[in-house]
Amino acid sequence: MAAASAPLTVYVPRDSSALSVGADEVAVAIAGEAARVGGDVTVVRNGSRGMYWLEPLVEVVTPAGRRAYGPVQPADAEGLVAAWRRDGAHPLDLGLTESLPYLKGQERLTFARVGITDPVSLDDYLAHGGYRGLERALTLSGEAIIKEVTDSGLRGRGGAAFPTGIKWKTVLDQPVERKYVTCNADEGDSGTFSDRMVMEGDPFVLIEGMTIAGIAVGATRGYIYLRVEYPHARVALLEAIEAATTAGYLGADVRGSGKAFHLELRIAAGAYICGEETSMLESLEGKRGEVRVRPPLPAIEGLFGAPTIVNNVISLASVPIILDRGAAHYRDFGMGRSRGTLPFQLAGNIKQGGLVEKAFGLTLRELLYEYGGGSASGRPIRAVQVGGPLGAYVPESDFDTPLDYEKFTEIGALLGHGGVVVFDDTVDMAQMARYAMEFCAIESCGKCTPCRIGSTRGVEVVDRIVAGENREPNMALLEELCDTMLNGSLCGLGGLTPYPVQSALKHFRADFEGVRPPSQRDSRS
C-alpha cells in the first residue's frame, strides 16, 4: 500500500460515540506506534461516518481513496501500522470506506462533510465547498435568500415540519431593528443523535446556516441552545465559532459585506421541555423552561420580545447547500411535499445502528433491513417507534410505508426528527404505553392540566388494565384520557403523548389483555 517510509494520514473520529468505545486511546496508540517504528504518520480527528457498530472506525488515506478498519482497539495499533507500511491487509480491513454498502446507498447533502473533514479546521471546511452558500447569500437580497429556502421545500427538521422559508419571511416582514436567530440544539428525543453528529463532525455548516439566516432576515445576533449532555459538541462549536470570527465569517462585518452577525453558545437547562421552542426561549432568557401561550408566535415576538427564528440544527445545517447548489438541486430529492433528505437515526435493538441520510421516500422496511440489517438480537422486529418518545409505535404491517411526512400522518404516526428506535418481539407494549405516560408525567412543565394531571392518571389506568382490574372500562377511560390530552394540551408534550399510547392500544391490544402468545414473551423474563 505504501512504501515503509512514505507519510501516512490516518483518521480517528472524535465523535462522542467513537470516544465512548475508546477512540482517544486508539488515536494515542496509533501515534505512539508510529513514533516507535519511526513512521511519518499524521493522525487527524474527524467526525463519525455514522456506522456506529464499527466504531472506533479508523481510516487511512490510500491512492484509491480512504480505507476503513474497525472496530479498532488500542492493542490493534501495532498490527495496523505494520499493515499500512505493507499492503494494508489486516483482519479489521473493511475495504474502501466509500464502497461500504451502508454509506454507498446514502444521499448525503447535509452530512456531505461529516466524517470527511477535520471538524474544527476552517481550511478543511473551505477546501470541501464550505462557505460557498454564504458567499452567494451575500450577493442576494433578504427576499431572494428566503425565496431559495422556500423553493427548496425545506421543512423544519425539529419535529413539526413547518416550512422554513415561511418562518423566515415572517421574521423578515417585522418592521423592527432587533431580531434574533436561535438554533434549537436541545435534541432531547430518545434515539436521536443527528444534531450532535453535525455539531461534532461539521460545526461550520451550522454556523454558516445561522449566518445566512441572520443575513436573510436582518438579525445581527444568534444563539445556539445546546443540550447540556453534549460536552464534545460544545468544544467543537466553540473552536469553530472562534475560527470563523477570526477569519471574518462572523462578527461586525461578515466578509466585508457591512452586515453583522454575532454568534453565541448557551448551555441548556437539561429538561426535555426546554426543547419546545417557547420553553427554549424562556430558558435562553434565563427563566424557568416553561411553555408560553401562543400567539404571539416567536417569529413575531420571540427572544426578549423580538422577532426570532427558531430552527433545529438540521434545518439550519441544510441551508448552506441550498444556497450553494440552488433550490432545485435540493428539491429534486424526496417525494410529495417532503423535499430533500432526512438524516435518519437507527437505534435500539438494531444490528447496524447509525446515521442514514436519504431522500424522503424510502420505506421503513428498507431502512430497517437494508441499512439496519434487522434486529441486533436476531429476533423478528415487532414494533418501531419513529420520531422520539412522542412518536407512534409502528407495527410490522406498516413497515412498507414510505418515510414521508404525509404518508406517516396517514398511518397515525409522525417522522419527527427522524429517530427510529427498534424493538423485537419480546417487547411488552403495555409497558411501553405506561412508559410514555410516565415520561410525560416526569417531563411535564406543569402549566396545563391535561398534561400535568392526565399523564399521572394515565400511568395509574395502564397499571389497572395490566392488573386485570375492570379491564374494559379502564381501556375506554384510557382512550378518553388520550383524547383529552391530545385536544386539550397547551403544547406537544401532553398533546403527542397519546400517539405512543393509542398506537400501542390499536396495534398491540393483546399486551394489555394479558393474552399474548407465549412464543412472543421474553424467554429471558
Q: Which residues bind ligand SF4 (CB under 6 A)?
A: 273, 291, 444-448, 451-452, 489-491, 493-494
Which residue, among 55, 44, 42, has the nearest Cα to 16 in the 3D structure? 55
Query: Under a CB-based contact definition with an 8 Å cutoff, are residues 142 and 262 in contact?
Result: no
Candidate residues 116, 310, 342, 420; the one interacting with ligand FMN per rule CB under 6 A:
310
- Those residues with Cβ within 8 angstroms of residue 295's Cβ, 6 or more apart along the chain or in another chain: none
Query: Which residue, 112 or 185, has its beta carbon nearer to ligand FMN?
Result: 185
Q: How many CB atoms lie within 10 A of CB 78?
A: 15
> What residue has cell string 462572523?
250
Candidate residues 124, 148, 277, 428; the one interacting with ligand FMN per rule CB under 6 A:
277
- Sign of the CA dihedral with 242 first, then 243, 247, and 249 last: negative
- The residue range among 54-62, 305-313, 392-400, 509-517 that interacts with ligand FMN, by the rule CB under 6 A, is 305-313
Which residue, among 293, 439, 358, has the nearest Cα to 105 in the 3D structure? 358
Q: Does 315 bind ligand FMN (CB under 6 A)?
A: yes
Q: Does 186 bind ligand FMN (CB under 6 A)?
A: yes
What is the Cα–Cα distance from 405 to 409, expressed in whole angstroms? Answer: 6
Q: Minimum Å distance from CB 144 to ligand FMN?
A: 21
Query: Which residue, 201 or 498, has its beta carbon nearer to ligand SF4?
Result: 498
Candidate residues 18, 491, 501, 505; the one interacting with ligand FMN per rule CB under 6 A:
491
- Those residues with Cβ within 8 angstroms of residue 469's Cβ, 6 or more apart along the chain or in another chain: none
Candidate residues 13, 130, 188, 372; the one interacting with ligand FMN per rule CB under 6 A:
188
Q: Does 46 bind ligand FMN (CB under 6 A)?
A: no
Query: Which residue, 430 or 490, has its beta carbon nearer to ligand SF4?
Result: 490
Residue type, 97: T
Q: Minimum Å distance from CB 480 to ligand SF4?
A: 17
Which residue, among 474, 456, 457, 455, has the nearest Cα to 465 in the 3D structure? 474
**Partner from ligand FMN, ligand SF4, none contacting 353, C-beta within 5 to 8 A by type:** none
Q: Does 419 bind ligand FMN (CB under 6 A)?
A: no
Q: Minimum Å distance from CB 272 to ligand SF4?
A: 9
- The residue range among 74-82, 107-115, 150-158, 168-176 that interacts with ligand FMN, by the rule CB under 6 A, is 150-158
Which triple of cell numbers denotes residue 201?
463532525
Q: Minimum Å distance from CB 419 to ligand FMN?
A: 11
Q: Minimum Å distance from CB 390 to ligand SF4?
A: 11
Q: Minimum Å distance from CB 160 to ligand FMN?
A: 4
**Partner from ligand FMN, ligand SF4, none contacting 451, C-beta within 5 to 8 A by type:** ligand SF4
| β 93-96/338-339 pair status | unpaired
Q: Minimum Å distance from CB 161 to ligand FMN?
A: 7
What is the Cα–Cα distance from 424 to 426, expressed in whole angstroms? Answer: 6
Query: Which residue, 120 or 445, has its beta carbon nearer to ligand SF4?
Result: 445
In order of 149, 152, 362, the CA distances from 329 in angstroms are 12, 8, 19
Query: Under a CB-based contact definition with an 8 Å cutoff, are residues 291 and 447 in contact?
Result: yes
Query: Under a CB-based contact definition with an 8 Å cutoff, are residues 357 and 110 in contact?
Result: yes
- Determine the angle formed by the axes of helices 471-488 and 449-466, rounding to 10 degrees: 160
Residues lying near ligand FMN in the complex (CB under 6 A): 156-160, 162, 184, 186-188, 272-273, 275-277, 310-312, 315, 491-493
